[in-house]
Amino acid sequence: MNPGRVPAGPVAAPARLSSQPRPPFYCTGSSVGKVRRILLIALVSVLAALSVWSAALAQEEEGPGLFAFEVSAINEGLPALESPLRLDTPRAALESFLAAIDQREYARAAQALNLSAIDPEEQASRGPDLALKLAFLLRRHNLIDWADMPDQPDARVLPDVQQSFGPYSRRSVDLGEVDVDGRATPISLQRFHTDDSEAVWLFSPFVVERIDAMFADSPLGIFVRWMPLEERVHTVGQPSAWEWLTAAILLAFSLLLWFGLYYLTRALTLRVPLRWTLAVRKIPLPLATVVAALAFRFGTVHLVVLTGPVVSNLDIASEMVALIAGAWLLLSTVSAVTLALSVRYIVPLSLENPENRRTKTTVYVVRRVAVVVVALLSVGYVLLKTGVFENFGLSVLASVGALGILVAIAARPLLGNMVAGLQIALAEPLRIGDVIVYDDHWATVEDISFAHTVLRTWRNTRLIVPHEHFLSRPFENCSKEGEAVGRIVKIPVDYRIDVEQVRRKVEEIVAGDTRSTGEPPSVEMVEVDGEAAVLWIWISGTTAFTSWYLHNHVREQVVAFLKELDGGAYLPRRRHILLSGSEDEAGPEPLGRTNVTR
């Protein structure tokens, strides 16, 4: 049988198998997967519905006891009232409490306090006074936020669309905190109930016990202590004519204080020694501003205690002015001290004192680092006091973080140069006054700023170089180790010259020059070719500047000496070889018969 041919008989067998009827429960692989997914989704949905239904059923069956603190009695020492306060919700309890205070019904307002921590026999006598003080604290510290005050009996919290948790009930609602001896004391409304009464919202016993301490720790002002508490509680936190008048008087007094202190300190600066006059002339203005702002703030906090919109605007403004002026004063003081140090203890850079250059560089770096530190601390304190980030959500903070990363990437050259500047200040590869050779520029370091270094070239021009370049590129510092700088004078001469004569002449030139360090010069024939030789004359100068002028002077004198020596026979010259016949016949001419032209 041909192996490439398919037999006709056995081929029909699979067709007969596929034509057989399938059982009713037969399913393909894809159908089984779909059925499983549908069953899984249905099971998850049923379980979720059962959990929500069971939670709701449990809440309905448990009753109010689950969402309230159970106590045996509530304010049993207070007398019964004909028109009690409405205390079924947190908002209703707070509104009823403040309404009773405004109507001067302090005994009725005491019903909103849980006085269980006080002896029942003293509740009736102490309750009105505690209610009055608590109302003063709420308004004095601006603790009432009606937008966040729930009006449901269970203070239910409804989640936002983005939140995954379900609604839940509360039995405690926080209003805010008051500092007592440096510790934050929370003020909260809590839900209480007894076996035979409905649940009510009251100020917690923890708060009631600490009302006297919180009231004693709150500043009242020297000029308003004579006012009865009943009068102060109705004016605190409310705009009033006397507060605006008092603020205007304090502001006028602060301005007068500013003018007086400014001109007084300005007159005193004229009496200081001359070396300090330039340093302290910038101090009077920020000093007067700081004192005036602090005086205004002291008056609003300790003398009168302005509240309401007055304190929310003027108090913050005075604090910001005091902070900015304080930073300004600190920077001016640092600038004055560093300038005075420069004048008093740092000699002119022209004297080429290495310790002087190191001190001046340190002073410059301290001055600039102080500016950066004070600026960052001031900005951080302003943001902290104003509470810019308190109301930001996580998404906003994440956006700010991403924006900060982008800003950091964009500002990388500036930040890199600032960090490189600190590295230069600490490692001292160069200092103010150093003579360096950078990118074929012979220059002096004139200033080291935040992000760049100023180089003064020999043409009296300024070369601005970023700090990163000094850390990534090599440069020559002629003043790094000592002040003496050696230089090489290269002079081409005829190779027949007597080098010893040149050595004696160079020693004669350098011996009487004050710009030389006294170290004997060195003259060596370093290069020789068929036409000339090159003499290297090494000399040492006292400084980078004097060595440059000294090596120019040596070059001039040596060239003049060569011109006079044997009629200039040893100056470099070009030689030509004259051939009298064919080189194959006569051979090359000896060197003695060459024609030499100058």
Q: Is 288 a domain residue?
A: no
Number of domains comprising the chain: 4
Picking from 190, 218, 246, the residue at the C-terminal end of a domain is 218
Does residue 75 fall inside a structural domain? yes
49 and 87 together in one domain:
no
The CATH number linked to 563 is 3.30.70.100
In a 13 Å sphere around the CA of 24, the CA atoms on its Cβ side amount to: 0
Could you list the residue range(s) of the whole structural domain that residue 37 is in?
31-62
Residue 109 corresponds to which tokens in the numbers above? 């307002």
Q: Are 45 and 130 found together in one domain?
A: no
In this prediction, residue 256 carries a pLDDT of 94
Q: Does 227 fall in a domain?
A: no
In a domain, 4, yes or no: no
In a domain, 443, yes or no: yes
Residues 51 and 113 in one domain: no
Size of the chain in residues = 598
Whether 99 and 166 share a structural domain = yes
Domain membership flag for residue 2: no
Look up residue 423 and give its two tokens: 């590295």
464 and 449 within one domain: yes
Report the alpha-carbon distance of residue 191 to residue 196 in Å, rounded.
Answer: 15
pTM beyond 0.75: the answer is: no
Residues 116 and 185 in one domain: yes
Indicate the residue among 479, 509, 541 that finishes a domain. 479
Pick from 62, 80, 110: which residue ends a domain?
62
Contact 296, 320 (CB under 8 A): no
In this structure, the answer to whether residues 56 and 130 fall within a common structural domain is no
- The CA distances from residue 394 to 157, 158, 163, 390, in Å, are 20, 19, 13, 11
Check whether residue 177 and residue 53 sit in a common domain.
no
Residues 550 and 409 in one domain: no
Same domain, 468 and 561: no
Same domain, yes or no: 497 and 383: no
Query: What local confidence, expressed as pLDDT, does residue 64 receive?
Result: 42
Query: What residues have CB less than 8 Å from 218, skipping those under 6 apart?
Result: 136, 137, 140, 141, 178
pLDDT tens sequence for the chain (598 residues): 444 444 444 444 444 444 444 544 444 555 656 667 777 777 776 666 666 555 444 444 444 445 788 888 888 888 888 788 888 899 999 999 989 888 888 888 889 998 988 888 888 889 899 988 888 888 877 788 888 888 888 887 766 545 555 567 788 888 888 887 778 888 899 999 888 888 889 999 999 998 888 888 776 655 555 666 676 676 666 656 666 777 788 889 999 999 999 999 888 887 777 666 766 777 888 888 889 888 888 877 777 666 655 666 676 777 788 888 888 888 778 777 777 766 665 545 554 566 666 777 777 777 777 777 777 787 777 777 665 555 555 555 556 566 667 766 766 777 777 777 777 777 778 877 788 888 888 888 888 877 788 888 888 888 888 888 888 888 888 777 767 778 889 989 988 888 899 999 998 888 878 888 888 888 898 888 777 889 999 988 887 778 888 889 999 999 999 888 888 888 887 776 666 654 444 444 443 334 444 4
> Is residue 518 domain-shared with residue 557, that is, in the same domain?
yes
Whether residue 240 lies inside any domain: the answer is no
pLDDT score of 258: 92
Q: Where are the alpha helices (DSSP H) in 347-442?
A: 354-386, 394-410, 412-427
Q: Output the domain CATH number for residue 351.
A: 2.30.30.60
**DSSP for 131-192, written as a single string:** HHHHHHHHHHTT---GGG---STT--B---SS--S--B--SEEEEEEEEETTEEEEEEEEEE
